[in-house]
Structure 1
Amino acid sequence: MTSPDSSPRSAASHRSFRQLEVFGELLHSLTTAARREANFPLFLQHRLGRDRRFGSRDRRLYRALTYAAVRHLPWIEAAPPSARALLSLWLAADEPILASLRGELLTDWPPLPASPTDQVALINERLGLALTVDQLFPDWLATEAPALAGPERDRLLTRSPLWLRLQTPDPQPVLTWLATEGIPFRRHPLLADALALLIETDVASSALHEAGAFEIQDIGSQLILALARPQPGTRWLDACAGAGGKTLQLARRLGPTGSVDATDIRPAALAELRTRATRAKVTNVTVLAPGAAGHRPYDGVLVDAPCSGSGTWRRSPHLRWRTTPAELRRQHERQLAILSAHAPLVRPGGRLIYATCSLARTENEGTVAAFLSANPEFRVVPPVEALGCAVNEFGTAILPAAHDGDAFFVSLLERS
């Protein structure tokens, strides 16, 4: 990186150069933390928040640069230290907040190619390196997720858009508000309630969100219940409800004559679920303390199981550098125990829905196969509609390229 022309040096150029220089000073500690910190987003928030030099725009700018670096961590680490900040900026072409920096500081760099293969070829030529695209993925991915190849795998290097799920029968107030605010969006072709925002913006603080008109929920997560098709008027348990994104979606699908009992081992998550249910004016959800009996047996039980989170690499790229085969095996054992514990709560003829946000066969097909071996009264049933997803004998994979969201796996298990 070279300093902008100082004769005369514009204030904007000087500011841009200094911002990238500061990022270069931060970069080593941030990339080290990406490999070490289990909650890297929180670490990054605290690290940028406690630096009094940074205003809110600075923090957003450095966050965007950091995530570009973390997505391409082996490339950044292999580059000469003096080139790492500028390389991070070049790789962050999809970040609007960096447009000014790119215009000021990348004048002698070509536009970023769409293909990672073309990107790495250009980096190798300019910096004299021998990098590969394969370096951007852990070695275990090829065996754990063989369906991820070429463009499907490369999609994991890009950021997901923010997806909304409409909570009201009439979408027009939300659509009108988005148009008035100048927020571009696109509707999902298969899910009428789903829409993607095409720019990064804060919608969580909007009046419509506070009024319960929509929830923020990734399209992959929304597709789980679209594939499962829980029937109106039935009784369900959401066994790993978390903060309740799928709980609210499930409650809406079941309608006023259906009901959802929701529980989780984390009291703070259940408190957030209560807040969200109140905001969404949902009245057919009962929040249960962990271990409470509920209205068993249920017509259906949803187990959105704890997992490695490898399906969320587009949003959480640091997880790509932390997940190991040993972690996949630990999660598999945990998932199998949770499934087995909740199987007796399903009535004969009812459904046990197993879902993860993982790419790994160990956590997905492997967990389902082990469960079926120990519970022969259950069988996998295919979804009525595949909705553009990949169906196999153990379940359905929701992959990023088909719907531009995170990756999920869902298995529909019916009790005889």
Structure 2
Amino acid sequence: MALKNRNTGPSHHIVIVGGGAGGLELATRLGDTLGKHNKAIVTLVDKSPTHLWKPLLHEVAAGSMDLDEHELEYMAQARWHHFRFRLGAMEGLNRAMREIYLAPSYDDDGELLIPRRTMRYDTLVMALGSVSNDFGVPGVAEHCISLDTQAEAATFHRRLINACIRAQVQETNLRQGQLNVAIIGAGATGVELAAELHNTTRELAAYGLDRIEPDRDVKLSIIEAAPRVLPALPEGLSLEVQRQLTKLNISLELGERVTKVDDKGVYTQSGRLVPAELVVWAAGIKAPDFLKNIDGLETNNANQLVVRSTLQTTRDDNIFAMGDCAACPLGEGQTGLVPPRAQAAHQQASMLIKSINNRMKGKALPEYKYRDFGSLVNLGKYTTVGNLMGGITGGSLFIQGTFAGIMYRSLYKMHLYALHGLSKVVLDTIARMITRRTEPHVKLH
């Protein structure tokens, strides 16, 4: 059954599928400019009712951030910023009819909540982000947790707490690997999670789990096929992060390709077994599987939609793709694809505001060129390291410590500013600074 448009004003329907950083920023800005003034209908579709900035999921997993205090309700954002929100997971596309198909939704008891639906569009923006890519490694689906969603991050934290509680009351000696955590993949998510978990396990012991001695009972391991951590980032930054992780006694298994995961731990190509009962897969990403050649659109081996520099898909000008689900060229004079990073999604969302306005007016569309402003890696309370590039410094500048930490936190504030405006961000920041003084620094349940 087609979703009926009850608005008798604007006829142009902009549908954005995916409420990640880029998709939600785009829906908010288009709602404020086009929806508010009745120039278009803007609809955001997502399979989750809430949003959290994805780079923070490792903090939720470690318990250093309370998900309930930071997630954003899509329905509330839609009301405040003049767009519509529809709960559902996209499962199909009909380009000829300009329709998308949404899978049925079920409640926590398995009862049908929302039936399968059809939604028409005039302009479609795919902002579906990415999911973990296990590369077909046996045992990953059964024994690993990925940090793709808020629910997965919360699940890992709950399992970590439960493992610590069992160990606290256990009469016999701990099993091999019982409190060991193995993180497969030494990208930003992997190294940041390891540092946060190093602090979390010590905080938990301080809050009453006193039979657990973290230095004796807990072992954190990062397993990476490349010869260094953060292989996609500059070598100097990588080596400094590696040095900091070594200081924290985090085991770095570098140059080790994972071949299997089971209930005993992680096996590598060299024949090693890394014992662990908690395993996180953070080794690769891909676009959702249903996008592969969806209704004839061009995709690559990672299921990403191939787009031109205007962010329009190569085979349909009515469909745009942005963020991690788009295979976008870097821009004039550069080879390769735009990396799957939050700054790229933010830049593309900003450009698509102008693109969609121009499209509705019949004007030429701007072309996207990726600008790399650098990288920041936050190792929790211990330190932050990074490099600033491009328009900020005119070159590359290595930074570390307090200034780097401020820069890292400002990235999240910039995202909140794009969603809420300056006054709300300032007031919210002050409120959190006050309440933080009266709360434990890790989530204890």
Using the size of structure 1 for normalisation, the TM-score is 0.29
Which is richer in strand?
2
Which is richer in helix?
1
Identify the structure with bigger relative contact order (alpha carbons < 8 Å, sequence gap 6+): 2
Using the size of structure 2 for normalisation, the TM-score is 0.28
